[in-house]
């Protein structure tokens, strides 16, 4: 599968939707997919973000042709699962058709009624998430976490051979903006004789990206690495909240359970792989001495173009900061290229034993830490396991999240010669 750009990536292209031109996230070169309901009520339906507006795809299906029209009709329902199931060719046709409608001035009168101010709309999870798998691809995060518990051997022997992951809880995935209730569970202090029960005192965020499965595969039929891209619809920002104290007590021998199943936050817009085509980059070379991927996980094209040049930021806004009118404080920034495995490798490995992936399944990358100071993807790393509190600009300190704290994640892709596109934001407030 060749990575190609086309007329939809032209940086000089402008839209008659004025707010799209120069928009930091949703210029006409992006056109991400989501589900919304218009002002005044109405059923949820599929839309595309364009500047400060949302385009109702079902309303403009009659203005499109062939596969683009079919795709727009499929997007007119309450979820995008059926659209994602049609695969990348259908998503590309829809994107190209809508791009033409939004850049040709003569379409303004016909399409205008299908545009709604995003600020006045309600947003929803874009798909029904059947299954959610969280991987552990951020090698710098894995090294940092491992060093807290195993200073002499941070990475376990299998890490560089097999994409590590666990099956998460799809029922507790919520859209950006939904409050996160602090979880309770068992914890055990190192010097305690027995565990105790109560609210988590070491609640943390995890800066991740979510990878959406498009076309699925049949049970018992693995997805070859050379075909894996065809099964990826796009990406969103993901915050997989973690209760570190609950996790420390329960994770052996079977891994995360209550520490992870209480809430995961996802941004509302799916940025398609076609929109990301200009920002495809080579997978970073493995350090000298690291093993090469096993044959079923290796593809030259994937190694040359399988990573994404996306920059991620995480901010905190405490209750006091908001009361004082202070801006959120950036905690860290880092690249999506911190992934040790590509998205295609995750898809192939997930299905290699015969597992059937389905449209709308969500794969988390795991926490993405840059490997440089200021690029930590979680508080447990920033505070060295809670031993070194961070000081915020207003004098407040944090080791882990307190009630009233809001965590805000953003992401964007930019490259000389192309228009910058963004993924919007993923945010939530911690409540007791």
Q: Which residues are catalytic?
A: 141
**In this structure, is the dihedral angle defined by the CA atoms of residues 363, 313, 311 and 334, taken in order, positive or negative?**
negative
Q: Which two tokens stand for residue 105?
A: 């001035």
CA dist., res. 330 & res. 203, Å (int): 18
CA dist., res. 100 & res. 426, Å (int): 29
Helix axes 88-103, 66-74, angle to 10 degrees: 100
Q: How many CB atoms lie within 10 A of CB 86?
A: 19
Tokens 């964007």 sit on residue: 412
- Per DSSP, helices labelled H in 197-307 are 244-250, 300-305
Is residue 55 within a helix (H) or strand (E), and if so which, with residue range?
A: strand 53-56
Q: Do β-strands 232-239 and 184-187 pair in parallel, antiparallel, or remain unpaired?
A: unpaired
CA dist., res. 141 & res. 367, Å (int): 6
Pair 391, 316: CB distance under 8 Å: no
In whole angstroms, how large is the CA radius of gyration of the chain?
Answer: 22
Region label for 395, one of left (φ > 0), alpha (ψ between -120 and 50) or beta (otherwise): left
DSSP H helix total and E strand total for the chain:
10, 26
Query: Exposed (0-12), middle (13-18) or buried (19+): which is 292, by Cβ within 10 Å?
Result: exposed
Is residue 94 within a helix (H) or strand (E), and if so which, with residue range?
A: helix 88-103
Asked, as a colleague might, if the bond just before 253 is cis with ω within 30 of 0, I would say yes
Q: How far is CA 278 from CA 68, 254, 271, in A?
A: 22, 40, 13
């Amino acid at each position: 599968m060749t990575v190609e750009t086309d007329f939809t990536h032209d940086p000089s292209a402008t839209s008659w939707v004025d707010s799209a031109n120069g928009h930091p996230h949703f210029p006409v070169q992006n056109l991400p997919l989501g589900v919304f309901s218009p002002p005044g009520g109405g059923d949820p339906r599929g839309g595309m973000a364009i500047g400060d507006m949302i385009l109702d795809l079902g309303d403009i299906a009659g203005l499109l042709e062939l596969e683009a029209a079919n795709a727009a009709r499929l997007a007119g329902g309450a979820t995008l699962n059926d659209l994602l199931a049609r695969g990348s060719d259908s998503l590309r046709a829809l994107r190209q058709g809508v791009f033409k409608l939004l850049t040709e001035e003569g379409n303004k009168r016909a399409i205008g009624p299908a545009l709604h101010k995003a600020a006045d709309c309600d947003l929803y999870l874009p798909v029904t998430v059947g299954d959610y798998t969280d991987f552990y691809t951020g090698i710098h995060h894995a090294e940092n976490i491992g060093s807290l518990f195993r200073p002499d051997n941070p990475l376990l022997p299998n890490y560089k051979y097999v994409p590590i992951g666990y099956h998460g809880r799809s029922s507790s995935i919520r859209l950006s903006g939904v409050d996160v209730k602090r979880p309770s569970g068992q914890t055990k202090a190192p010097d305690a004789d027995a565990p105790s029960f109560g609210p988590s005192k070491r609640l943390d965020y995890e800066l991740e990206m979510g990878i959406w499965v498009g076309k699925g595969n049949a049970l018992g039929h693995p997805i070859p690495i050379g075909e894996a891209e065809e099964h990826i619809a796009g990406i969103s920002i993901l915050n997989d909240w973690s209760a570190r104290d609950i996790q420390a007590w329960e994770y052996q021998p079977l891994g995360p359970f209550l520490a992870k199943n209480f809430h995961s936050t996802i941004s509302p817009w799916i940025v398609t792989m076609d929109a990301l085509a200009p920002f495809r980059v080579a997978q970073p070379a493995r350090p000298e001495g690291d093993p090469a991927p096993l044959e079923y996980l290796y593809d030259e094209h994937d190694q040359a173009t399988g990573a994404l040049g996306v920059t991620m930021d995480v901010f905190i806004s405490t209750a006091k900061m908001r009361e004082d009118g202070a801006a959120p404080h950036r905690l860290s920034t880092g690249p999506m290229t911190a992934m040790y495995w590509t998205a295609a490798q995750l898809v192939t490995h997930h299905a290699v034993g015969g597992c059937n992936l389905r449209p709308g399944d969500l794969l988390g990358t795991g926490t993405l830490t840059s490997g440089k100071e200021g690029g930590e993807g979680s508080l447990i790393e920033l505070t060295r396991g809670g031993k070194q509190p961070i000081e915020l600009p207003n004098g407040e300190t944090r080791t882990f999240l307190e009630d009233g704290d809001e965590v805000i994640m953003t992401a964007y892709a930019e490259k000389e010669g192309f228009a910058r596109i963004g993924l919007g934001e993923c945010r939530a407030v911690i409540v007791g």
